[in-house]
């Protein structure tokens, strides 16, 4: 059983539907590579020998406009490739059962040229019958781990991540190792499932951004502010002549931060090559780090980014810290937009985005 971390549901101002500009940047910058993979690498005749239906899945689709524009782009490239012999398209929108499929379905484009389906379930497991998928697409999703490794929740463990909420910023290498180990386990399950489901010659594209999620550290520091603020000064405590127990006076108990780790791991080219080769059912047609140069670098953009990440992370935060602390952590992080903007301006050129095109052997 995997844990699920749905994006904010519905379409209100803090919903993911209304706040997915970051993920749009990722998609836009990968567009040409997606088209190229379809036009140059996909061998259609092999796959559709006995049917005229081309079956596509969007893994980790969430809700909002990005999933539809990504699928529209894929269908257009396929039509360009098929030219005079265009098949019927069947698109399977996949995400956890906790995803807001009602909103997804109600926002399906009216003029779509494909049959649309919802597929509830974790992609860390089987979703489709054997050899039933021709093309799988997965953008800003593959970095989600199925869970946080159990040992990270044990304060006696070497991978105990004190005062932080992610491996980014952690000086303890065991923290990173624990994330990598979980990523490799998850990818083993992921690739085993896809190897069964994708037809020989079928294609899978994975797109994984890295910059935006490094912004996690700003949320971590907001949480630690809530821990440290209002704590009694130690010298004041020491001035008492009798031993007195002073509980933490911060709004948030540090132990709650220590036991919280955001379950996302951003794989390198080496990480991905390793898991694909271990699985041994897919050939790597293209793998590279690109530099999309985010346009979201000004202070107003920093606010947009933070509201965007709030739509992604809010469920996770509320689940662990409760609604009040989660709200305060998000509000405080958005107030740091000048600091975040400064950080973005330094880092946006280094921004890396992983693009992988795979073909089922």
Give the DSSP H/E element, type plus range, for residue 25: helix 21-36
Please report whether residue 101 would count as binding a second copy according to CB under 8 A: yes
Q: How far is CA 61 from CA 25, 93, 215, 240, in A?
A: 16, 6, 22, 58
Q: Two tokens at 239? A: 């001035």
Output the smallest distance, CB 44 to a second copy, in A.
Answer: 16
Please report whether residue 45 would count as binding a second copy according to CB under 8 A: no
Q: Which one among 85, 102, 113, 255 touches a second copy, defined by CB under 8 A?
A: 102
Binding residues with a second copy: total (CB under 8 A): 29
Pairing of strands 198-209, 133-139: parallel
Please report whether residue 106 would count as binding a second copy according to CB under 8 A: yes
Cα 121 to Cα 63: distance, rounded to the nearest angstrom: 15
CB nearer to a second copy: give 107 or 157.
Answer: 107
Output the smallest distance, CB 276 to a second copy, in A.
Answer: 25
Give the DSSP H/E element, type plus range, for residue 55: strand 53-59
Tokens 């935060």 identify what position?
Answer: 317
With 0-12 / 13-18 / 19 or more C-beta atoms within 10 angstroms meaning exposed / middle / buried, residue 219 is buried
Output the smallest distance, CB 9 to a second copy, in A.
Answer: 8
Output the smallest distance, CB 324 to a second copy, in A.
Answer: 26
Q: Find the part of the chain contacting a second copy (CB under 8 A) among 23-31, 96-104, 281-289, 320-328.
A: 96-104
Output the smallest distance, CB 314 to a second copy, in A.
Answer: 18
Please report whether residue 82 would count as binding a second copy according to CB under 8 A: no
Give yes or no for a contact between 336 and 50, defined as CB atoms under 8 angstroms apart.
no
Report the SS3 class of residue 108.
coil
Considering only residues 108 to 137 of the shown chain, the ones binding a second copy according to CB under 8 A are 108, 115-121, 126-132
Output the smallest distance, CB 136 to a second copy, in A.
Answer: 15
With 0-12 / 13-18 / 19 or more C-beta atoms within 10 angstroms meaning exposed / middle / buried, residue 9 is buried
Binding-site ranges for a second copy (CB under 8 A): 50-53, 88, 90, 92, 97-98, 100-102, 105-106, 108, 115-121, 126-132
């Amino acid at each position: 059983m995997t844990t699920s971390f749905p994006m904010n549901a519905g379409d209100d101002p803090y919903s993911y539907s209304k706040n997915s500009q970051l993920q749009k940047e990722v998609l836009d910058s990968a567009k040409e590579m997606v088209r190229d993979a379809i036009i140059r690498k996909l061998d259609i005749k092999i796959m559709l020998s006995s049917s005229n239906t081309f079956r596509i899945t969007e893994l980790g689709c969430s809700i909002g406009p990005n999933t539809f524009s990504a699928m529209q782009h894929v269908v257009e490239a396929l039509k360009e490739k098929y030219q005079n012999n265009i098949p019927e398209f069947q698109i399977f929108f996949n995400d956890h059962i906790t995803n807001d499929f009602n909103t997804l379905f109600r926002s399906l484009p009216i003029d779509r040229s494909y049959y649309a389906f919802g597929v509830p379930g974790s992609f860390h497991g089987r979703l489709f019958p054997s050899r039933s998928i021709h093309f799988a697409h997965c953008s800003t999703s593959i970095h989600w781990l199925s869970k946080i490794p159990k040992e990270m929740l044990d304060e006696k463990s070497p991978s105990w991540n004190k005062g932080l909420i992610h491996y980014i910023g952690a000086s303890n290498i065991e923290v990173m190792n624990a994330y990598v180990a979980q990523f490799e386990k998850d990818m083993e399950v992921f690739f085993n499932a896809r190897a069964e489901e994708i037809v020989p010659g079928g294609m899978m594209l994975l797109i994984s951004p890295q910059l935006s999620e490094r912004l996690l550290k700003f949320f971590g520091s907001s949480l630690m502010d809530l821990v440290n603020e209002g704590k009694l000064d130690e010298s004041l405590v020491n001035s008492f002549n009798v031993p007195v127990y002073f509980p933490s006076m911060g709004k948030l108990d540090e132990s709650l931060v220590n036991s919280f780790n955001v379950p996302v791991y951003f794989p390198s080219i080496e990480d991905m090559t390793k898991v694909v080769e271990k699985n041994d059912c897919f050939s790597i047609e293209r793998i590279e780090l690109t530099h999309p140069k985010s346009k979201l670098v000004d202070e107003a953009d920093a606010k947009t980014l933070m509201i965007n990440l709030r739509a992604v992370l809010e469920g996770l935060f509320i689940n662990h810290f409760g609604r009040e602390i989660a709200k305060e952590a998000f509000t405080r992080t958005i107030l740091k937009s000048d600091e975040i903007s400064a950080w973005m301006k330094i880092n946006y050129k280094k921004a890396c985005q992983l693009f992988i095109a795979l073909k089922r052997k």
